[in-house]
């Protein structure tokens, strides 16, 4: 490997925080390296907020069309062309990604280097980047920002290796409508797909091991959502744990669950696991830089988003806590205020409307 290239700033990941930070630093005259191993724009643009909300919009149109007669508007038979839904979604995603790409290209040049590849720490303040088009590069900087996000947690119940399991990314690529979608997980991602596919016309069963859906929300909110779901014809099994899964004849899937009333066998055509996310810290090997992680692999930061290694910061989902685009964007604002505008912003006073969220003491991470 050739000699390390020195930068003023390195940003790993191009998502909600990671995409604005390099631009802000480059505009301030710093020499910046931005590294991305996947698609520019990260989860939100490519496989999170943008595509889901686009598909939710299609599902709402199907829902309204079916209810048209209630409003005195008569339509013909309603059918959903999932391939057309998917193409529309893809168009939106590409538009959003290109929009971001053009912002980067506008500042790309001597002050901003975009490296397509996977970064991993090889020493404190030093990263090795395995470039997508071959070869590796070693780069260093006194300031490093980790915005590597998270990915879907894999289902590990008995028999899982014998059936296809969808996650939040692969379910958006289905070409035909599931006849009966079984969803394990009643958090916001599970709910979003549950309602969407019900409105597209699938039968949907939701399995949640907590006593109610949306455990992080106030009880009255989650009760109301459950009521609406049941009214829409979704089967909601709360306090229910998935135990075992296996193939049934005709391409169907059998799921054994433990409900408060005892064991029950469910069968469906498709299975979605929406059981949480895991941080992208394994490939990054932060331990090589002495960066502390919590027991679940999230990077520990203080209120100013600094890790235990001075000059190394983490933002977005990879530091744990509420996993939202606006949280990641606000992390960027905190860093910009403190490091470019000589301010003193902190995550401590940030208002996040979640029921189980306590104010975060320094060095704390939120539980899922």
Ligand X SMILES: Cc1cc2nc3c(=O)[nH]c(=O)nc-3n(C[C@H](O)[C@H](O)[C@H](O)COP(=O)(O)OP(=O)(O)OC[C@H]3O[C@@H](n4cnc5c(N)ncnc54)[C@H](O)[C@@H]3O)c2cc1C
Binding site for ligand X (CB under 6 A): 12-18, 35-38, 42-44, 48-49, 52-53, 118-119, 147-150, 168, 189, 280, 283-284, 316-318, 323-326, 328
Nearest position to ligand X, beta carbon: 149
Closest to ligand X by CB, 269 vs 280, is 280
Using the Cα atoms of residue 348, residue 354, residue 358 and residue 360 in order, give the sign of their dihedral: negative
**Cβ density class 22-35: b for 16+ within 10 Å, e for less:** bbbbbeeebbbbbb
Q: How far apart are CA 6 and CA 207, in angstroms?
A: 51
Distance in Å, CB of 139 to ligand X, minimum = 12
| Ranges assigned E (strand) in 88-216 | 112-123, 126-131, 136-140, 143-146, 150-152, 180-184, 203-208
Distance in Å, CB of 35 to ligand X, minimum = 5
Provide the β-strand partners of residue 40.
none
Picking from 228, 224, 227, 214, the residue whose alpha carbon sits closest to that of residue 354 is 214
Closest to ligand X by CB, 16 vs 347, is 16
Distance in Å, CB of 115 to ligand X, minimum = 8
- Cα separation values, 234 from 51, 84, 180, 245, 348, Å: 22, 24, 10, 21, 39
Q: Would you say 357 and 322 are in contact if contact means Cβ atoms under 8 Å apart? A: yes
Closest to ligand X by CB, 4 vs 78, is 4
Closest to ligand X by CB, 124 vs 239, is 124
Distance in Å, CB of 281 to ligand X, minimum = 8
What share of residues in the chain are helix, strand, coil (percent, to 5)? Answer: 35, 25, 40
Distance in Å, CB of 245 to ligand X, minimum = 22
Distance in Å, CB of 227 to ligand X, minimum = 22
Closest to ligand X by CB, 63 vs 329, is 329
Closest to ligand X by CB, 16 vs 205, is 16
């Amino acid at each position: 490997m050739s000699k390390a290239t020195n930068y003023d700033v390195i940003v790993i990941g191009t998502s909600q925080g990671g995409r604005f930070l390099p631009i802000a630093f480059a505009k301030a005259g710093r020499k910046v390296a931005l590294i991305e191993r996947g698609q520019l724009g990260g989860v939100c643009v490519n496989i999170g907020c943008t595509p889901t909300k686009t598909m939710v919009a299609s599902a709402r149109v199907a829902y309204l069309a079916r209810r048209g007669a209630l409003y005195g508007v008569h339509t013909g038979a309603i059918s959903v062309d999932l391939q057309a839904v998917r193409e529309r979604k893809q168009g939106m995603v590409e538009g959003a990604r290109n929009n971001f790409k053009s912002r980067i290209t506008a500042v790309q040049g001597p002050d901003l280097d975009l490296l397509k590849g996977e970064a991993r720490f090889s020493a404190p303040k030093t990263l090795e980047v395995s470039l997508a088009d071959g070869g590796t590069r070693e780069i260093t900087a006194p300031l490093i920002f980790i915005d590597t996000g998270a990915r879907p947690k894999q289902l590990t119940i008995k028999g899982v290796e014998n059936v296809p399991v969808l996650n939040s990314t692969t379910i958006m690529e289905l070409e035909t409508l599931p006849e009966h979608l079984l969803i394990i997980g009643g958090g916001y991602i599970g709910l979003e797909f549950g309602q969407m596919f019900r409105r597209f016309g699938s039968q949907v069963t939701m399995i949640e091991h907590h006593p109610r859906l949306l455990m992080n929300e106030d009880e009255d909110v989650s009760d109301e959502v459950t009521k609406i779901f049941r009214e829409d014809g979704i089967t909601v099994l709360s306090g229910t744990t998935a135990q075992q899964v296996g193939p049934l004849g005709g391409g169907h899937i059998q799921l054994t669950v433990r409900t408060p009333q005892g064991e029950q066998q469910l069968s469906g055509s498709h299975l979605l696991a929406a059981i949480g996310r895991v941080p992208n810290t394994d490939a990054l090997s932060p331990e090589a830089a002495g960066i502390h992680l919590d027991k679940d692999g999230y990077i520990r930061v203080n209120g100013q988003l600094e890790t235990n290694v001075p000059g190394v910061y983490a933002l977005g989902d990879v530091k744990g806590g509420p996993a939202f685009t606006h949280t990641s964007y606000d992390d960027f604002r905190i860093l910009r205020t403190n490091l470019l505008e000589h301010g003193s912003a902190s995550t401590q006073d940030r208002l996040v409307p979640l029921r189980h969220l306590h104010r975060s003491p320094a060095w704390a991470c939120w539980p899922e």
